[in-house]
Amino acid sequence: MFRGTGEVADTVPMANVVVRASTDGYADLTAGYDVDLKVVAIKGDLQGFIDGTKGTFGTTASASVSVAGVPTTGGRFALSSKGVGICYSALGASIAGGYRFGEGIPDGVHLGATLSGCDLSDFEEPRTRARVRQVGAPAGTTVSVASGTKVQNVELTGTGGTPDVVLKAPDGREVVPVDGTAAGSLRGAAVRMTLPAAERSVVILRDPTPGTWTVLPREGSPALRGVRVARDVKPVRVTAQVRALRGRGGRRELRYVVRDRGDAVVELAERSAGATGSAGGVLGRATRTRGTIRFVPGGLRGGKREIVATVSRAGVPVSTTVVARYTAPTPARLAAPRSVRVTATTTTTTVRWRAVGGARGYLVRVRGARSKRVVARIVGRSRRAVVPGIGTRDGRVTATVVARDRNGRSGRPGSGRARR
């Protein structure tokens, strides 16, 4: 077990970190966090897992969110090996945000509104072309709105300040966004959310007319240096169940169903219930609408487990949800190695034995009867160990061999003596 402080990707400082690790590379994590992404600040407590075998991790947490003094409620925070995602309610709207590690702060931080939940497409640069030019302002930027879109977010980044724009609808109407912060609500046909720390504003269009819209800076507005768009998408729904496989030594089969995935990535992982004790780590990705993943429960002990689905879009985790629960069996103890043979010279002992099914390694202990010295050595899957430093000069030599499984759990011992 590790207790202390830490940091993820030089971005997420963590305090009161507790890591409970097993010898097979898996661990559970609980910690407090406090993240300042300039555009938004979040803090709280998280719980999750670390899969050292794949170099990945995932967490979920409740969050206290602060955005330029705007009151927020219902914060949720997700952290993965690729980035962070947040979800909260503010000014009557659901807000989703994300940041990919390695991108600049605050330029790499993006926020947008959704109808409900926190499923938002990635912010992308639209195809642009000059439409109308204002005196002292750059050419208008066009934004395409697909048919059936309920919410379209237009992210505007300025030079030296927060942009203020007017939008021209496909039918020629000019739409002036209302400042949602000043109005006390982000609900309306066209509302602007300002993020001064990033010199950015986000125009939220509700039930916009399909077609090509033109974004034009208003007089006195800072020049635009970037335009990106994102729209709300259907939330991904994942259901799953776990069943035991007969005669498979504790193996399990996870059956999953994924609906409305779109371009999202769904990763399934196992963890101890409540994220306490030893975790099982990443099981795999849900690559189809329906599928199965077979696995051996991880951890040193049995007990209640949860299957967690992490949904990510463009590398940013959107949500982490428990989709199934089951009880993992206590791992069966490995058998004792048979036919342990010991040969010794004056200063060296060689030990041989038969392989044990399921063993990932062996622990060999050699003891001299006269000197009482004990020398231990850990070997891989080899069935032979040469132990220097102890031999017939130490009296009659006895060796004990113990097999170890994938979780580092020791089996029953097998032993042998060197002939006189």
- Per-residue CA distances from 273 to 53, 73, 182, 270, 410 (Å): 21, 26, 44, 9, 24
Three-class SS of residue 46?
strand
For the chain, the maximum distance between any two Cα atoms, rounded to a whole number of angstroms, is 103
What confidence score (pLDDT) does residue 68 get?
A: 67
CATH top-level class for 237-328?
Answer: mainly beta
CA dihedral 10, 15, 21, 25 (to 10 degrees): -10
DSSP string of 364-415, one letter each residue: EEEEETTT--EEEEEE-S-SEEEEET-SGGGSSEEEEEEEE-TT--EEEEEE
**Interatomic CA distance for residues 247 and 260, integer angstroms:** 36
What confidence score (pLDDT) does residue 337 get?
A: 95
Structural domain boundaries of the chain? 2-114, 141-231, 237-328, 341-417
Would you tell me how many other CB atoms lie within 10 Å of the CB of residue 267?
19
Structure tokens at 325: 């629960």
Q: Mean pLDDT for each consecutive 10-residue tract of the chain (420 residues)? A: 51 52 54 78 72 59 73 77 83 85 85 79 62 42 89 92 93 91 83 90 93 91 90 90 81 94 89 57 90 83 86 83 89 90 93 91 91 83 90 92 84 90
> What is the pTM (predicted TM-score) of this model?
0.67
β-strand partners of 373? none
341-417 in CATH: which number?
Answer: 2.60.40.10
403 burial type by CB count under 10 A (0-12 exposed, 13-18 middle, 19+ buried) = buried
**Interatomic CA distance for residues 392 and 418, integer angstroms:** 9
φ/ψ of residue 208, rounded to 5? -70, 150
What confidence score (pLDDT) does residue 163 get?
A: 92
CA dihedral 192, 196, 198, 202 (to 10 degrees): 0
The CATH architecture that domain 141-231 belongs to is Sandwich (2.60)
Residues 173-231: tens digit of each pLDDT: 999 999 888 778 888 889 999 888 889 999 999 999 999 999 999 989 998 888 999 88
What confidence score (pLDDT) does residue 102 get?
A: 83
Using an 8 Å Cβ cutoff, are 298 and 307 in contact? Answer: no
Do 141-231 and 237-328 share a fold?
A: no
**Interatomic CA distance for residues 201 and 157, integer angstroms:** 7
Query: Where is 153: in which H helix or E strand?
Result: strand 151-158
Structure tokens at 206: 């509700």
Burial 172-209 (b: 16+ CB within 10 A, else e): eeebebbebbeeeebebebbbbbbebbbbbbbbbbebe
